[in-house]
Structure 1
């Protein structure tokens, strides 16, 4: 007859529950994985599958009861670590969406918006297009597998322990959020320059020929030039997105090191 002691049952549970909490924290926040269109059962099933694979390879767990206050403290810690890692990559996609917002407003497509279930708000069409392009490239270059690889390596560089996390790690996460505006502006800058020259040309044309109705001809010209410029510059977005993904992975690794107590 098979018999289990409380210590053995607790060791098996903590070797699975604590890594699963960190994994689910990343899946809940990370781009593509955490999208609202992905069913919750799929997210939980993916997290359980990854936890079952990596659990035997993890370092020894601290001898703490799962139902104790220290066990609950470690559980919350693992959730915060996973969410911090996923948030870094989510910032990269937020920068792409910000670039789409800037370009869409400059093209005059501020009215062309629809409800986005991910952000629970109105999103411009160009912004959603940029977001879908970044998501497809994220999957095409296997960045989702690299993110899972960083997650697995985090259990070695930041092992599970009852020691409190360093506040410098959370400060670095908040600091990295500032790149949303800088990266978004850099992505949109070529299109902004083209549309700015178009608006200047329209202004000169209106000044030289006041009888022209700028409101009648300005919008289709601006929209047409913006779409043509977007079609021309679209191939150059791919290396920029890849560079942003690499920077996001580097920032994720730096945050893991900074969180180490």
Structure 2
């Protein structure tokens, strides 16, 4: 008869529970794997599957009881690591959505909104469209597989029970939030500059010829030129997204190294 001691049972549970918390937290915050259209059962199943794959490769676990304050601290530690990784990836997709919002406002499509279950509020149609393209490109570049590989590697660089974090890592994460505005504006800049010139021209013409009203001429012109420029932008969007995702993954690895340095 096989006898299992309480210490051995606790070790088995810890080897499954603590990695599961980190992986599940990442899946909740990740932009593609944690999409609202994916059922929660599928997310939990994927988390359990990844945990079963990663668990045998874990370094030695800390001798900490699960039901204790120290065990709660270890669980919160895993939660923060997973959420930080998911947040970094979500920033890249948010930058693309911001570009869609800026372009939509400049084209005069600020009224073209609908309820988005992702954000829980109204989202511009162009922002939603750009987000869908970004998700498809992310899957085409095998970005989801790269992220899962990085996630599995964190159990070696950031072993369970690290106890302390480097404060500079959280400072890096906060500063990287500026990517939402810099990358988003960089993507929207060609259309914004062109449409701004058109709006300024229409303003001058309206002053010189009042019969050329903004609503009768300016709005159709801005919308038509914006659609044409969008067609031109789509030809180079894949290269831009590839560069954006590559920089995001590089920053994610730098962030994990900075956490480990603490």
TM-score interval, normalised by the smaller of the two chains = over 0.9
CA contact (8 A) 1:77 1:165 kept: no
Return the alpha-carbon distance in structure 1 between the equivalents of residues 88 and 156 of structure 2.
Answer: 19
Give 3-state SS (helix, strand or coil) of 2:2's partner.
coil
> Where does residue 211 of structure 1 map in the other structure?
211
Is residue 173 of structure 1 aligned with residue 168 of structure 2? no
**What displacement does 1:213 show?**
2.5
CA contact (8 A) 1:16 1:51 kept: yes
CA RMSD of aligned residues (A): 1.2
> Where does residue 237 of structure 1 map in the other structure?
237
**What displacement does 1:162 show?**
4.8
Question: Where in structure 1 do 4 or more consecutive aligned residues deviate above 4 Å?
Answer: none
CA contact (8 A) 1:103 1:192 kept: yes
Deviation per residue, 1:77-99 (Å, 9 max, x gap):
00100000010010111111111
**1:156-171 alignment, distance < 5 Å:** 156-171=156-171
Return the alpha-carbon distance in structure 1 between the equivalents of residues 136 and 2 of structure 2.
Answer: 49
Please, which runs of 5 or more residues in structure 2 have no aligned partner? Answer: none
> Where does residue 55 of structure 1 map in the other structure?
55
> Where does residue 225 of structure 2 map in the other structure?
225
TM-score, normalised on structure 2?
A: 0.96
Give 3-state SS (helix, strand or coil) of 1:212's partner.
coil
Q: Return 138-147 or 33-42, whichever deviates more.
A: 33-42
> Where does residue 4 of structure 1 map in the other structure?
4
Give 3-state SS (helix, strand or coil) of 2:235's partner.
helix
> Where does residue 28 of structure 2 map in the other structure?
28
Return the alpha-carbon distance in structure 2 between the equivalents of residues 78 and 160 of structure 1.
Answer: 7
Deviation per residue, 1:63-90 (Å, 9 max, x gap):
1111121111101100100000010010
Give 3-state SS (helix, strand or coil) of 1:98's partner.
helix
TM-score, normalised on structure 1?
A: 0.97
> Where does residue 114 of structure 2 map in the other structure?
114
**1:20-99 alignment, distance < 5 Å:** 20-99=20-99
